[in-house]
A and B are shown apart, each in its own frame.
Chain A
Amino acid sequence: MRRSTAAAVGTLTGAALIVGVRLSVSAPVVPSAAPPAVDLANSGQNDDPEPAGSANKKPSSKKPAAKPTENADEADASGEAGGSGLKNGIFKGSAAKNPYGTIQVSIKISGGKITAADATYPVTGDSATINPPAIASLKQSTLKVQSAEVDAVSGATFTSESYVKSLQAAIDEATA
């Protein structure tokens, strides 16, 4: 039982290594961690009919992303449910260090199923330095129609023949 829970956490840790790096690359300008996709602390205590292992009951563990001390093994106290071999509760993998920072995964199990998963991912330090500088992409706007007075007109190259009908020809005539 324990082993299967730990295995799930382990797999997710691996996934988070990928997810974590991708997140930090796609949002390089955000200096703080994105809010967790799932609020493990709250859902664990309010919605779970058979709440949680010991880890979940400590007030300090309400922010799973900030406290990498809990261990999946501590979640043993609660009973098995759903016949899947997974115990209800919230489980955290051990903090995994990689060249980009530290990543830790949390999963929530209820009814024998993983119902939520989250991970911390690095947002500063090494991770920030390997991200390329943000490229300001072109901004979309409404195509305007203007008829202001100008000194010259830039446009696709006209031929000698089509010049006579161009706005530039009108400017040249006016200023000749």
Chain B
Amino acid sequence: MHHAEHVMGTVVSIDLADELPPEKLRAMVDDVCGWLHEVDRRFSTYREDSEVSKLRRREIDPADCSTDMRHVLEACADLWRETDGYFDAYAAGPLDPSGYVKGWSVEIASARLVEAGSMNHCVNAGGDIRARGRCATGAPWRVGIRHPWEADKLSWVLAVSDQAVATSGTYERGDHVFNPRTGGPARGLRSVTVVGPDLALADAYATAALAMGEAGIAWLSKLAANGYDSALVTDDGRAFSSAGLPAAV
């Protein structure tokens, strides 16, 4: 079953490859979509009544936040330390945990699918992917990495089973990633993809490396030891990839 849901300012594509009754698959898709809309309501920076907006206005104290919000705030603080400050939920000024929330919410969506009986699925939240098991043909999921200049082409094709694939780039929404050291937009890297066990971390690492610029190349190479492989393209068109990248071709 395949479904595309407009939510969180983007489109989430849900692909269920399990051989289960259609009504069961439909219910799973509905559950996932319900969860993603809930996340949007609670964590969107665009909604005045979201928990994030209330935190920003200091109407609530971090200590009084929901368990999920406290988890998100803690994770953002951990990532800030782990990335030498390059992953910064406060990069644009007020709190904006979106860079963590999207990947985290898809991780939970995938876990909910497993709990409901889906061992083979692929969820793509606007370019950030969590895959499990196999696709309908029984082969690993084939994930393309968008070419950073040609929107209808790919620069890598990966074969993944139980992994997350996250990409940050400057080509889609312009200068939306900032280098916290310079205060200016990130320069040097055009596209960074990180492949690993957790989508929230993979996404945060990709964003941090993009913010670092070319220094991010060396930083990413250290992540391979923790199970996070990477592929990137510089502003001047050079391609780099780690030895463990699960390239399909």
Contacts and interface: CB of A to CB of B under 8 A. Distances in A.
Interface of A: 135-160, 162-163, 165-169, 171-172, 175-176
Query: Dominant SS at the A interface?
Result: loop
Contacts of B173: 156-159
Given A143-B239, A156-B167, A168 B13 contact: yes
B36 interface: no
A168 B154 contact: no
Contact of B242 (A136, A142, A155): A136
Nearest to B169: A156
B143 A152 contact: yes
12 contacts: A140-B238, A142-B239, A148-B144, A148-B248, A154-B145, A156-B168, A158-B172, A162-B172, A166-B151, A167-B146, A167-B152, A171-B13
Contacts of B171: 156
Interface stretch (B18-26, B75-83, B84-92, B214-222): B214-222
B155 A145 contact: yes
Given A137-B218, A140-B240, A152 B146 contact: no
Nearest to A146: B154
B237 A150 contact: no
Interface string B162-175: 00011111111100
A139 B241 contact: yes
B155 A168 contact: no
Interface in B132-155: 135, 141-147, 150-155
A176 B2 CA distance: 6
A152 B144 contact: yes
Centre residue among A154, A160, A169 by max chain B CB count within 10 A: A154
B105 interface: no
A176 B11 CA distance: 14
Contacts of B131: 152
B142 A141 contact: no
B136 to A, nearest CB: 9
A172 B4 CA distance: 7
B23 to A, nearest CB: 18
Contacts of B156: 144, 146
Contacts of B6: 160
Contacts of A141: 239-241
Given A141-B241, A156-B127, A176-B2, A169 B154 contact: no
Contacts of A175: 2, 15
Contacts of A168: 11, 13, 124, 127
Interface of B: 2, 4, 6, 9-11, 13, 15, 102, 122, 124-129, 131, 135, 141-147, 150-157, 165-173, 191, 193, 217-218, 220-222, 224-225, 230, 232-233, 237-243, 248-249
For the complex of A and B, 7 pairs with smallest distance between CB atoms? A156-B169, A155-B146, A156-B172, A150-B144, A138-B240, A143-B239, A155-B127
Contacts of B168: 156
A147 B15 contact: no
Contacts of B233: 143
Contacts of B147: 143, 145-146
B122 to A, nearest CB: 5
A154 B166 contact: yes
A138 B221 contact: yes
Contacts of B224: 136
A21 B57 CA distance: 55
A159 B144 contact: no
A176 B14 CA distance: 10
Centre residue among A150, A152, A172, A176 by max chain B CB count within 10 A: A152
A164 to B, nearest CB: 9
A37 B141 CA distance: 52
Contacts of A137: 217-218, 221
A150 B153 contact: no
B170 A156 contact: yes
Given A145-B150, A148-B142, 8 more contacts: A138-B221, A139-B242, A141-B241, A154-B167, A155-B127, A163-B126, A168-B127, A172-B11
